[in-house]
């Protein structure tokens, strides 16, 4: 599709090894410094993606186009509870694809917003709310960096005051007290629309599920995803010793039109 050559202002993933890689926007005068020497960034303009350049100490650095996860990981914060594995399941369980209309609260750093927007492009749209001004600013920058601004409407508002979007295909709850917003999100969803809620503690999950039942949601389901890395070496293959034991629980449900149940 494109000509596959690095251009000025491109974001490029400079790849030295699986754990040593840097996402850098190409512009004159910049340098990438590594423990394996440095590179003058402007020298990579015109190189083909997938090829390598040499540092001043003759180490190979590969030039890769970034994946969406490369953008998202760079904006990761200490309090982050949503990992790529969780985002992947949310996308799949809520059936995200081009054209879908999605509402999200809260925005946080915008990682999940970017993830969603990338999947509903080019004709879908995400409306995302956060009550915190600073969150709004951070998210705005991250979304711009990922080139996804046109698919996302960012709003600063307390969702508890009510939200105006209607007929959304998907509603995402990613904040501390999601059970307080089940009714609000239900109003935003179209019938049969899918709600996803993210909570790290089991107590939050209980409250969310009870509220979903009260509001007549169907197909209520809570799950958690464990990811285990394998260390694959010929004749010495084993699971990795370290592992993330828990990030968050994921709860899903579908809106029905009849809420009066016995």
Residues 153-182 that bind a copy of itself (CB under 8 A): 167
Determine if 57 is a binding residue for a copy of itself (CB under 8 A).
no
Helix (H) or strand (E) holding 199: strand 189-199
73, 93, 157, 184: which one binds a copy of itself (CB under 8 A): 93
What's the Cα-to-Cα distance from 232 to each of 13, 19, 21, 236, 238, rounded to whole Å? 24, 16, 21, 7, 7
Determine if 122 is a binding residue for a copy of itself (CB under 8 A).
yes
CB of 174 to a copy of itself, least distance (A): 16
55, 75, 113, 118: which one binds a copy of itself (CB under 8 A): 118
Determine if 98 is a binding residue for a copy of itself (CB under 8 A).
yes
Determine if 49 is a binding residue for a copy of itself (CB under 8 A).
yes
CB of 43 to a copy of itself, least distance (A): 17
Residue number with CB closer to a copy of itself (28 or 246): 246
3-state SS class at 212:
helix
**Cis amide prior to 254 (ω within 30 degrees):** no
Select the span of 22-30, 34-42, 92-100, 133-141 touching a copy of itself (CB under 8 A): 92-100
Report the C-alpha gap between 185 and 163 in whole angstroms. Answer: 8
Interface of this chain with a copy of itself, residues 178 to 217, rule: CB under 8 A:
190-194, 200-203, 205-206, 209-210
Determine if 78 is a binding residue for a copy of itself (CB under 8 A).
no
Residue 240 Cα to chain centre, angstroms = 25
Instruction: Label residues 79-107 b or e (16+ Cβ within 10 Å = b).
Output: eeebbbebbebbbeebebeeebbbbbbbb
CB of 206 to a copy of itself, least distance (A): 6
Determine if 245 is a binding residue for a copy of itself (CB under 8 A).
yes
Determine if 45 is a binding residue for a copy of itself (CB under 8 A).
no
Cα R_g (the chain), whole angstroms: 21
Residue number with CB closer to a copy of itself (28 or 192): 192
153: which strand partners? 127
DSSP symbol at 148:
-
At 98, phi and psi to the nearest 5?
A: -55, 140
34, 135, 180, 256: which one binds a copy of itself (CB under 8 A): 256
Report the C-alpha gap between 123 and 110 in whole angstroms. Answer: 20
68, 73, 145, 180: which one binds a copy of itself (CB under 8 A): 68
């Amino acid at each position: 599709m494109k000509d596959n050559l690095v251009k000025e202002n491109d974001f490029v993933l400079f790849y030295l090894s699986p754990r040593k890689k840097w996402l850098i926007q190409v512009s004159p005068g910049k340098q990438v410094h590594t423990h394996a020497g440095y590179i003058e960034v402007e020298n990579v303009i015109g190189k083909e993606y997938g090829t390598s350049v040499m540092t001043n100490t003759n180490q190979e650095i590969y030039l890769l186009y970034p994946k969406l996860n490369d953008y998202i990981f760079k904006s990761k914060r200490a309090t982050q509870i949503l990992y790529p594995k969780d985002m992947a399941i949310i996308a799949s369980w809520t059936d995200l694809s081009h054209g879908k209309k999605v509402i999200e609260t809260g925005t946080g750093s915008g990682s999940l917003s970017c993830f969603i927007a990338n999947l509903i492009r080019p004709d879908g749209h995400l409306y995302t709310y956060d009550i915190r001004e600073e969150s709004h600013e951070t998210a705005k920058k991250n979304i711009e960096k990922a080139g996804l601004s046109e698919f996302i409407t960012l709003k600063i508002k307390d969702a508890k005051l009510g939200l105006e979007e209607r007929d959304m295909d998907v509603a995402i709850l990613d904040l501390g007290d999601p059970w307080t917003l089940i009714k609000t999100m239900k109003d935003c969803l179209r019938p049969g629309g899918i709600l996803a809620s993210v909570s790290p503690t089991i107590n939050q999950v209980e409250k969310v599920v009870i509220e979903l039942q009260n509001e007549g949601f169907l197909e209520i389901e809570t799950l958690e995803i464990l990811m285990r890395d394998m260390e694959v070496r010929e004749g010495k293959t084993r699971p990795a010793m370290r592992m993330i034991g828990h990030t968050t629980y994921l709860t899903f449900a579908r809106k029905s039109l009849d809420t009066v149940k016995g």
